[in-house]
Structure 1
Amino acid sequence: MPENADNSPSDAAVVTVVSAFAPGSSLVEAVRSAIGQSSVVVVDDGSPADGSVDATLDAVEGLGARVVRLPRNSGIGAALNAGIRDALADPDTSYVLTMDQDSTLPAGYVAILVSLADEARTAGIRVGSVAPEFAGGLRSNRSGELSGFVLAREPIQSGLLVPRDVLEKLGLLDEALFIDGVDTEYFLRTTQEGARCLVAPGLATGHQLGGTLAVEVLGRSVPVTVASTFRYYYQQRNLVILLRRWARRRPGWAATAVAKHVRHVAITTLLAPGRRARLAELRAGLVDGLRGKTGRRPEPTR
C-alpha cells in the first residue's frame, strides 16, 4: 500500500455506496472503514424482516451513514443504482465509490484513488474508473500501461471509484443482470466509449470472494473457491447474455471470459462437493441465457 495514507477525506466530494442484503457485523466494519474517508450511503436490498437486520442498519446510521431501504430484493445492480442516484442528487458529488457489505477499505484509500484519477486526467486520460491492485488477496488483472498509468482489465465493482461525468454519460449499472456480471458489463461499456479503467498500484481492499473449501488432491490439501450454489445460475446466464451482446465487438474479452468460466467450472466439478446441484444451476442458466431471460430468477413453484 502507498505510504503516507491516512483517513483524511480528499478535497473532492466522494460518496461511497454500499449494497447490503441480510447484513451482519461485516456491514458495520465496512461502513466504519469508509465513513472517515467519504460520505456513505447504505442500500438495503429488501432484506427479510428481521430484528438483527434492523439493529445492524441502525448501527451504521449511528456511524453516520445514510440508509436507503428497498421494498423488495432487486439485485446488486438495482441496489447500487439506488445509492448512486442518491449520491448524484447532490450536485457537489464528484465521484462515487461502490462497495460490497463484506469489504473493508484501508486508511487513505479514497484519497489515493481520487489523486490517481486526477493525475490521469491532468495527463489527458479519459478516466472511466479506478480500482485497487488487490481485492481479497487476489491481484487485479492488468491490460498494460498508458502514460505511466496501469490499466485494469475487468475490475470488480467493490472498491471501484467512478467519476460523476462517466455515470452521467454512460448511465447506471444494468439492473436486468440482477447479480454477477454487473461490473463486467459496466467495464465493457466504459472502455467501449474510450474511457480507461486504472489500477492503483499497491492498494488493497479486504473482500470475501466466495467460500473456500479445502479438498484433497494427491494427498495434499488444496483450497478451492466456490460460490453459493444459486450464483452459478446467474454466472452462467449472464455470461451468455454478455457474450451475445459483446463477443463480436470484443472477441478477445469473450475468449478470455469463456476460458476462465470453463476452467472454474471444471475445477469445482472435479474437486468440490455439491457438483450435481451446481451443474443443474449451470444448465438452467445456459438455457435462460440463450432465451435472453434477465432479471431475478422466479422462485420455484411448490
Structure 2
Amino acid sequence: MDELQPPSSPSGGPTGVVAVITALNPPADLPRRAESLRAQVDHVIVVDDGSGPDASEVFFELRRIGVEVLHHEANSGIAAALNTGVRAALALGAAAVLTLDQDSTLESGYVEKCLDSLRTASAAGRPVGFVCAHRMNGVDVPAQRGQNGIEPYDPMQSGMLIPVPTFHRVGLFEEGLFIDAVDSEFTLRVRHAGLTVEFAEGTDLEHGLGEQTPKMLFGRTLTTHGGATAFFAAHSPLRLYYVTRNRLITNARYARRYPSWVLHRVVDDMVFAGRNVVFGAAKWKSVKAIAYGLIDGIRCREGRATPRLTTKLTTRRD
C-alpha cells in the first residue's frame, strides 16, 4: 500500500487527504461545517446530487469559502455522488479520501487520528482498506471480533478515511444500489480483497440521528416512563424498500464468504423493519415497501426505484 503523506503539522502542512461530502437539499449550516473541515484536509469537495433551487444559496456560500462544488443534474443516488467526488479527488492526486454525509461534523484532530491509525496498522504489517470513526455522538460504534482483534461490525461510510490504493484494488462504490447498504457492500468487498477495516482510535463523529418520529401503536402515541413522547429513528416506506432490496442483494452476494456476519445483519434488519411497521405511522405502506423490496432483491433488480413504485410508496393515501 502506498505510504500516506504525514498528518497536518501545527504550521498547516499537507495531509494528502481530500474530503468528499455528498449533499441533497443540504442544511443551511453545511458551509460552516465545511469551513471547519478545511483545517484538517487539503481540499473539500461537495457533490450536489440533484438538489432543488432552494439550495442554491448554500452552494454559493460553499464556493465563496473555497469549497469545490460539483453538480448532478438529477438525483443519482449516494453511491454515484460519492464516486463523482472520489474521481475528482483522484484527479487532484489525493493520497486518501475522507467521505462524509452532509449532516456529519468532525471533531478537531479527527483526520490526524485516522492517519495515525493507518500508520500504526501499516507498521504492524496489516494491509488496511480504510479506517472509520470509533465513536459516534459519544457512543461506541458496533464492533465484532476479527482476525486482528476488535474491528467495526458494519461501519457507516460517513467518517471513513480510505487510502487511494484501496480504490485501485477494489473499485469505487456500488452505484447499482443507489442508496442504503452502499457502505456495507463496500466494506465486505474490501474485506473480501484481503484488506482490513479498522477503527481510528480515539475518534468521535457527530452525526445527525435522522428523522425522529413518535412511536404510534393502535392510533395512540406511546410515551416513556417519565411521560414524554417516545421517539424512534423512522424510515419512509421508500427508504424501507431500498433497505430491504439492497440488504437482500448484498447478503446473497457475500453469504458464503461471511455467513455469521450475514446472519447477524439479517436479524438486525428484521428488528429494524419490524420497528418501522409496528411503531410507524404508515404501517401498511411499510409492509408493501418491504414486500416490493424482497421481490426486487430476489430478482437482483438494482438502480433507482421505478416512478410507478415511487408514487405508490410516497403518496399520502395509505
Q: Is TM (by shorter chain) over 0.5?
A: yes
Assess if the C-alpha contact under 8 Å between 1:9 and 1:108 holds in 2: no
Report what 1:35 is aligned to. 38
Structure 1 unmatched ranges of 5 or more: none
Report what 2:27 is aligned to. 24
Q: Residue 243 of structure 1: CA displacement?
A: 1.8
Query: Which structure has the higher relative contact order (CA within 8 Å, separation 6+)?
Result: 1
Report what 1:195 is aligned to. 195
Specify the code of the residue in structure 2 equivalent to 1:182: V
Specify the code of the residue in structure 2 equivalent to 1:199: F
Report what 2:233 is aligned to. 225
Report what 1:126 is aligned to. 127
Relative to structure 1, is the Cα distance of residues 116 and 299 closer, same or farther in structure 2, using a 3 angstrom cutoff?
A: same
- Give secondary structure in 1 for the equivalent of 2:237: coil
Report what 1:184 is aligned to. 184
Q: 1:85 aligns with which of 87, 91, 95?
A: 87
- Cα distance in structure 2, aligned partners of 1:6 and 1:151: 28
- Cα distance in structure 2, aligned partners of 1:138 and 1:229: 28
Specify the code of the residue in structure 1 equivalent to 2:127: R
Assess if the C-alpha contact under 8 Å between 1:77 and 1:173 holds in 2: yes
Task: Tell me the alpha carbon deviations over residues 51-85 of structure 1, each in whole angstroms, 9 at most, x when there is no partner.
Answer: x3111001111222101111221100000000000
**Sequence identity (%):** 32
Report what 2:299 is aligned to. 291
Relative to structure 1, is the Cα distance of residues 144 and 26 closer, same or farther in structure 2, using a 3 angstrom cutoff?
A: farther
Assess if the C-alpha contact under 8 Å between 2:134 and 2:202 holds in 1: yes
Question: Which residues in structure 2 correspond to 1:129-148 (within 5 Å)?
Answer: 129-144=130-145
Question: Which residues in structure 2 correspond to 1:164-179 (within 5 Å)?
Answer: 164-179=164-179
Structure 2 unmatched ranges of 5 or more: 1-7, 216-221, 312-318
Assess if the C-alpha contact under 8 Å between 1:150 and 1:200 holds in 2: no
Report what 1:271 is aligned to. 279
Q: 2:68 aligns with which of 66, 69, 73?
A: 66
- Cα distance in structure 1, aligned partners of 2:10 and 2:78: 27
Task: Tell me the alpha carbon deviations over residues 262-285 of structure 1, each in whole angstroms, 9 at most, x when there is no partner.
Answer: 011222222232222221211111
- Give secondary structure in 2 for the equivalent of 1:243: helix
Relative to structure 1, is the Cα distance of residues 188 and 266 closer, same or farther in structure 2, using a 3 angstrom cutoff?
A: same
User: In the comparison of the two structures, how many residue pairs are matched?
Assistant: 294
- Cα distance in structure 2, aligned partners of 1:8 and 1:184: 37
- Cα distance in structure 2, aligned partners of 1:158 and 1:30: 14
Relative to structure 1, is the Cα distance of residues 235 and 136 closer, same or farther in structure 2, using a 3 angstrom cutoff?
A: farther
Relative to structure 1, is the Cα distance of residues 283 and 26 closer, same or farther in structure 2, using a 3 angstrom cutoff?
A: farther
Root-mean-square deviation (Å): 2.2
- Cα distance in structure 2, aligned partners of 1:69 and 1:84: 14
Task: Tell me the alpha carbon deviations over residues 170-214 of structure 1, each in whole angstroms, 9 at most, x when there is no partner.
Answer: 110000000000000000000111111111233211112322234
Q: TM-score, normalised by structure 1?
A: 0.90
Specify the code of the residue in structure 2 equivalent to 1:30: R
Q: TM-score, normalised by structure 2?
A: 0.86
